Amino acid sequence: MAVEESDADLVERARGGVSDAFRVLVERHSRSVFRLAYRMTLNEFDADDVVQETFLRAYRSLGRFDGRSEFGTWIYRIAVNCSLDLQRAKGKRAEIGTSDEEGDGLTATLAAHDPTPDRVALSGQVRQIVDETLAELSPMERTAFLLRHVEGMAVPQISAVLGRNNGATKHSIFRAVRKLREALRPVAGTLR
């Protein structure tokens, strides 16, 4: 059985100009980067753009990857920056203002992330409230919380991804939980 080549070895070979090594890294990590980008942007098309941009930036910065962290953590860190850049750019575009007749939604923002009736029926009231509340969190709060709660990442790893200290990461998680608790208060009795 063939042994899977480690990320570190692939990075080393990619630095040496072997594009096939970088291909393996892209193919190995693109799904998880997409999940992270989607958590941050809540938009699958933006997330796809972030995935591409992340690997482009990674390739151009391979020389600066010092190997102290895992490649996965490093690529996540780049994805977080790309997501924030994209959201800043979209924010600027939205400020310019557009014609948005008949709900065409070209300027749709996270705040307008209304769940469809199908989704509500399918997922129930709690999930609807959870999704809406998560959409209203800052990208940092949402990402910190989801990486801990859904992906099960440890706080130090999340901090490395977000480029913050452990205290700041924990506070983002606390704030997210507090807001979820407030939002779910009306249905709290049904949760037990």
CA quadruple 86, 87, 88, 90: dihedral sign: positive
The answer to whether 133 and 183 are in contact (CB under 8 A) is yes
Q: Which of 4, 9, 31, 163 binds other proteins (CB under 8 A)?
A: 31
Q: Does 96 bind other proteins (CB under 8 A)?
A: yes
Enter the DSSP assignment of 100: -
Alpha carbons 41 and 18: distance in angstroms, whole number: 32
Q: Does 105 bind other proteins (CB under 8 A)?
A: yes
Q: Does 175 bind other proteins (CB under 8 A)?
A: yes
Q: Which of 30, 69, 73, 81 binds other proteins (CB under 8 A)?
A: 30
The answer to whether 143 and 155 are in contact (CB under 8 A) is no
Using DSSP, how many helices (H) and how many strands (E) does the chain show?
A: 8, 0
Query: Could you tell me which stretch among 2-10, 64-72, 73-81, 171-179 binds other proteins (CB under 8 A)?
Result: 171-179
Contacts of 126 (CB under 8 A, 6+ apart): 184, 187, 190, 191
Query: Could you tell me which stretch among 1-9, 61-69, 76-84, 174-182 binds other proteins (CB under 8 A)?
Result: 174-182
Contact set with other proteins (CB under 8 A): 19, 23, 26-28, 30-31, 34-35, 38-39, 43-49, 51-52, 55-56, 59, 86, 89-90, 93, 96-99, 101-102, 104-108, 116-119, 123, 126-127, 130-131, 134, 146, 148-150, 154-155, 170, 173-175, 177-178, 180-181, 184, 188, 191-192
